[in-house]
Amino acid sequence: MADYALFLRARFNARTGNFEENVRQRHPTNRFWDRVVKSGSTITPQGEKINADTRTMEMASSTQDTDRVYFAVNFIPDIRPAKIRFMCGLHQSMRSSRSRTASPFRTPNGDPNGEVQCDLESNRYEEIVVDGVTYFAIGPYSLVREPNGEQFESCFYKLTVVASASNDGVTREYAYDPDMDVETGL
């Protein structure tokens, strides 16, 4: 399967609490998904940017292999995040969702028999450079197959990603809530 990353940019001096919007929807630069490949300690985006504002990310989880997710943040000016945190919950308005658990993430990471994790955070980062911009990423987090997942069914989740940073004694937080679909039973 594949690794993906959600990339988010924020202006530290903006007091909105939001990550920057994409100016051009077909060419996202501030809130987007991309497939990434890790070789050694280097994580390389594949240039397949998917606008996180207009399209739900579709990933897969099977009994053999599963997609994995990174969450990556960049602050303008360049400031290292204090921590990145994300929460996951069932997408209640999707009546066709087959999910019976609130999150596709487990602890220990990727253990299908592990505890459901709805609230995860880290201050340990890997760096990913996209078009000359350095993002600080947490992950990868493996998607765990829904216990009742039948072949070719989808589970729909809401994510909320929050990152905080401090600069000159000022701490600010920024949030974003993309959707994520996980296809089970592949």
Q: What is the span of the domain harbouring residue 104?
A: 3-184
How far lies 68's CA from each of 24, 76, 109, 120, in Å? Answer: 27, 27, 10, 15
The larger pLDDT score, comparing residue 185 to residue 77, is at 77
- Residue 171, CA atoms < 13 Å, CB-side half-sphere: 6
Q: What confidence score (pLDDT) does residue 186 get?
A: 46
The larger pLDDT score, comparing residue 185 to residue 41, is at 41
Q: What confidence score (pLDDT) does residue 93 get?
A: 57
CB-based contact 153:183 (threshold 8 Å):
yes
> In the structure, what pLDDT confidence band is assigned to residue 113 with cuts at 50, 70 and 90?
confident
Across the chain, what does the average pLDDT equal? 84
Q: What confidence score (pLDDT) does residue 12 get?
A: 94
pLDDT digits (tens, 9 = 90+) for 19-36: 999 998 889 999 999 999
- The span from the CA of 33 to the CA of 47, in Å, is 10
> How many domains does the chain fold into?
1
Q: Which two tokens stand for residue 8?
A: 């988010």
> In the structure, what pLDDT confidence band is assigned to residue 129 with cuts at 50, 70 and 90?
very high
Dihedral angle computed from the Cα positions of residues 149, 151, 152 and 158, in that order, rounded to the nearest 10 degrees? 10
DSSP characters over 167-178: ETTEEEEEEE--
The larger pLDDT score, comparing residue 157 to residue 171, is at 171
**Residue 73 clears pLDDT 90, i.e. is over it:** yes
pLDDT digits (tens, 9 = 90+) for 168-181: 999 999 999 886 66
Collapsing DSSP states into helix, strand and coil, what is residue 122?
Answer: strand
Q: What percentage of residues in the chain have a pLDDT greater than 70?
A: 80
Q: What percentage of residues in the chain have a pLDDT greater than 90?
A: 49
pLDDT digits (tens, 9 = 90+) for 88-112: 877 655 555 556 777 888 887 778 7
